[in-house]
Structure 1
Amino acid sequence: MRTNIAAKQIKIDDRMVAYLEVQQTTTAVKTVVFIHGWMDNAASFHAVMKQVEEHDLSWRVIAIDLPGHGHSTHKSAHHFYNFHDYIDDLHRILVKLKAVDVYLVGHSLGALIASCYSAAFPEKVAGLVQIEAHVPLSESPEQSAERLRNGIESREHWREKFPRAIPSKQGAIKMRMRATKLREETVLPIVERDLQLIDGQWFWRHDSKLKCESVYRMTQEQAQAIMSAITVPHLVILGQRGYHYLQNPQILSFLVDAQIEMVEGDHHCHLESPQKVFELILGLVNKN
């Protein structure tokens, strides 16, 4: 099947944000924005976007590369990737794209960004879908000093490192297969979007600063307050073999009015069960 997914980009200040968009022949009445997970990129949603193509829906469908990921610009050497800055980035991206009637679909880190944005700006979001993540990461206040120390030390460690070439493209594919537990054909689009050839050697495109530890994390009360503030239609999709803590009844109790669905797959269940995940997204979007 010939793909009808175009690579595009927009400029925000001095940075470029890359994204993929399904080219539609009909006028779009709803916008579905896919937000990938940590160290992934827009190609993480290639299988679900193909389902959208096949159904020829009147949606504007966009998958963004978060800053520092995929083909989007890295932050400067003096700026790191604080979680809350991603929420500001998403806000500016949606404004720049002139997105209306927006449904946010996030996986992992992208799901957490989408939940916080939906809580802060409910008037700008028509619906929320979270895949393999839901409540923002939290920890006790007593861990704040240790968190801050570890975060700063990880930045110092990063400053002492130099980019290292990857032995081969196939080696990069095998690395991602081990990390994600996905088959080669499934992980290939993500790897190809994250690789670049420089002077005959392969390097990752993503910003190595992404591996620096966070210097701040919410308390459980703050995370719970965020979830309580979500008023839009809300769907949570979890993999049968995904992260077990996401299925903890106590944590799930923080999801006030969310529809919770289980699908076959691991943490990247949207790539292992794309048709089922698409059907669930379709149900939420078409219901409103």
Structure 2
Amino acid sequence: MNRVSMREYRLPLADGREVALLDNDRQGKPLLIALHGWLDNGASFLPLAPYLDDFHLICIDLPGHGHSDHKSTPYVFIDWLDDLHQISQAAGWQRFVLLGHSLGALIACAYAGVFPEQIERLILLEGLGPLSQPDESVPEQVRRAILNRSRTRERASAGFASLDEAVAARCKVADISPAAARLICERQLVVREGRWHWRSDPRLRDLSPLRMSEGQAQALIRAIACPVLFIRGEQGFEALLAQWQQRAGAFRQIEMAVVAGNHHFHMDNSAKTAVCIENFCQIR
């Protein structure tokens, strides 16, 4: 798995929190901001980085993930958009290409609808806009979320005896290769008293109390002004095919590419993923 050295720094936000960023320092190149998936971190884009040296690539550790500060409030979907807006304001990013994987793709898609003037091009990996729910499912969703929060507060983690043990645990619960899981885990773990513990905020595992209606999700999609590239893994999330049928018509301009691999295809099939990105952005 290709790896590249990237500079890490912490960006202070207006509300006092700090967010960790990984930067390839290629100033003057087209700015590409990358958002990782749920319980991942900016290191999930390190395999892509060697193939994206025609971009000024900056990978964000979303709040609660990686080396970024945790939030003092629950992790609600709309707040991810506020986080990204605060980050872009603090960093001085006026206009940029936005790349998101999984949860990062959901955030990126919604953000591009809310702040279309900022986004030059949008690249979605294994995600096609915010999750939605039928109106009639709201009472049960809220109930499950509240009960789940109680379990999160009561849950205690003993940590892991080794990095290898943590990697094995991650592979059991995620569609990810051991090599990709190791790269993410190396950044997501901290050693305390001889045990390896997750840095990530335990409350990230809370269920969302409310999801948008499908109409609301598609309203955000229709507000996106830039060209969009959707890349899915050949063995990725099957539900995305049905979502494509449902939502593709709501985008003004979208194209789909398929890359061999699972949900984390961008880590294991980085060269092909980068070719799709470069062609879409007309870099080469």
Shorter-chain TM band: over 0.9
TM-score after normalising by structure 2:
0.93
Output the CA distance in 2 between the equivalents of 1:101 and 1:29. Answer: 13
Pair 180,51 (structure 1): closer, same or farther in 2 beyond 3 Å: farther
1:135 Cα deviation after fit: 2.6
Distance 1:2 1:63, change over 3 A: closer
Q: Which residue of 2 aligns with 1:5?
A: 6
Distance 1:148 1:125 in 2: 33
1:6-46 CA-to-partner distances (Å, cap 9, x unmatched) read 1111111321100100022xx41421000001010001111
Is 1:17 aligned with 2:19? yes
Q: Distance in 2 between matches of 1:111 and 1:199?
A: 36
Other-structure match for 1:160: 154
Aligned-pair distance for 1:101? 3.0
* Cα distance change on mapping 1:162 and 1:50 into 2, 3 Å: same
Query: Is contact 1:236–1:261 with CA below 8 Å preserved after alignment?
Result: yes
1:72 counterpart (52, 68, 76): 68
Question: Partner of 2:108 in structure 1?
Answer: 114
1:227 aligns to 2:221 (yes or no): yes
* RMSD (Å) for aligned C-alpha atoms: 1.8
Which residue does the alignment assign to 1:184? 178
Count of paired positions:
280
- The gaps in structure 2 that reach 5 residues or longer are none
Structure 2 residue identity aligned to 1:141 = D
Q: CA deviation at 1:133?
A: 0.6
Identity among equivalent pairs (%): 35
State the one-letter code of the partner of 1:250: Q
After superposition, give the CA deviation of every residue in 1:97-149 in whole Å (9 maximum; x if it has no partner): 11233000000000010011100111111010000010311111111111111
Displacement of 1:269 in angstroms is 1.2
Rounded to whole Å, the distance in 1 between the matches of 2:169 and 2:249 is 36
Instruction: Give the distance between the partners of 2:140 and 2:84, measured in 1 at CA.
Output: 29
1:283 aligns with: 279
More moved, 147-156 vs 38-47: 147-156
| Residues 133 and 211, structure 2, Cα contact 8 Å, conserved in 1 | yes
User: Where do 4+ consecutive residues of structure 1 move more than 6 Å?
Assistant: none
Whole-angstrom CA distance in 2 between matches of 1:261 and 1:69? 28
SS of equivalent residue, structure 2 residue 100: strand
- Partner Cα distance (1:89, 1:212) in 2: 18
Aligned to 2:33: 33
Alignment match of 1:263 (pick from 245, 259, 262): 259
CA contact (8 A) 2:4 2:47 kept: no
With normalisation by structure 1, the TM-score equals 0.92
Does the alignment pair 1:133 with 2:127? yes
Question: Matched residues in 2 for 1:252 and 1:241: separation?
Answer: 20
SS at match of 2:124: strand
Matches of 1:117 and 1:240 in 2, distance apart? 26
Matched letter for residue 117 of structure 1: Y
Structure 1 distance, partners of 2:250, 2:118, is 22
Matches of 1:227 and 1:33, distance apart in 2: 19
How is 1:86-101 mapped onto 2 (pairs within 5 angstroms)? Answer: 86-101=80-95
Cα distance in structure 2, aligned partners of 1:160 and 1:37: 25
C-alpha separation in 1, matches of 2:269 and 2:96: 24
Are residues 165 and 287 of structure 1, via their aligned partners in 2, closer, same or farther at CA, if it must alter by over 3 Å?
closer
The answer to whether the Cα contact below 8 Å between 1:239 and 1:267 also exists between their aligned partners in 2 is yes
Q: Following the alignment from structure 2 to structure 1, what is the Cα–Cα distance between the partners of residues 3 and 61?
A: 23
Gap runs ≥5 in structure 1:
none
Counterpart of 1:161, as a letter, is R
